[in-house]
Amino acid sequence: GAGVSQSPSNKVTEKGKDVELRCDPISGHTALYWYRQSLGQGLEFLIYFQGNSAPDKSGLPSDRFSAERTGGSVSTLTIQRTQQEDSAVYLCASSLISGRGYEQYFGPGTRLTVT
């Protein structure tokens, strides 16, 4: 079946502009995660959603970052007033449920470059 998809695959934006990154999880997966991978920081957790529960936002680096998940499916990560340090690959993952021991399936990522 279809895997996790993300769009756009690449995004170049000017410093100060807002960007929206989209994630389509695997159908039927109730848990959705956002991670960021950048040089010098490795892979870091940003936020996760489980069903209708309040999301765990503890990994968001600043209040310029926000995410929503509509209808328990598609998610959008928004970065406002982008800074150069936001340049990274943003990875989305989904899992069947948000239980321990369930594999997370990753999308191909969105490479964000802030100039």
Partner 1 sequence: SQQGEEDPQALSIQEGENATMNCSYKTSINNLQWYRQNSGRGLVHLILIRSNEREKHSGRLRVTLDTSKKSSSLLITASRAADTASYFCATDAETSGSRLTFGEGTQLTVNP
Interacting residues toward partner 1 by CB under 8 A? 4, 31, 33, 35, 37, 42-45, 48, 50, 56, 59, 89, 91, 93, 95, 98-109
The nearer residue to partner 1, 59 or 80, going by C-beta atoms, is 59
Q: Which residues contact residue 53 at a Cβ distance below 8 angstroms, ignoring those fewer than 6 apart?
A: none
In angstroms, rounded to a whole number, what is the distance separating the alpha carbons of residues 115 and 107?
24
The nearer residue to partner 1, 107 or 114, going by C-beta atoms, is 107
In angstroms, rounded to a whole number, what is the distance separating the alpha carbons of residues 36 and 53?
22
Q: Look at residues 101, 94, 16 and name the one whose alpha carbon lies nearest to residue 48.
A: 94
Q: How many residues make up the chain in this entry?
A: 115
Residue 35 C-beta: closest distance to partner 1, Å: 8
With beta carbons less than 8 A apart as the criterion, state whether 38 and 109 touch: no
Residue 70 C-beta: closest distance to partner 1, Å: 21
In angstroms, rounded to a whole number, what is the distance separating the alpha carbons of residues 113 and 48?
23
The nearer residue to partner 1, 27 or 100, going by C-beta atoms, is 100
The nearer residue to partner 1, 82 or 104, going by C-beta atoms, is 104
Residue 79 C-beta: closest distance to partner 1, Å: 19
Residue 65 C-beta: closest distance to partner 1, Å: 15
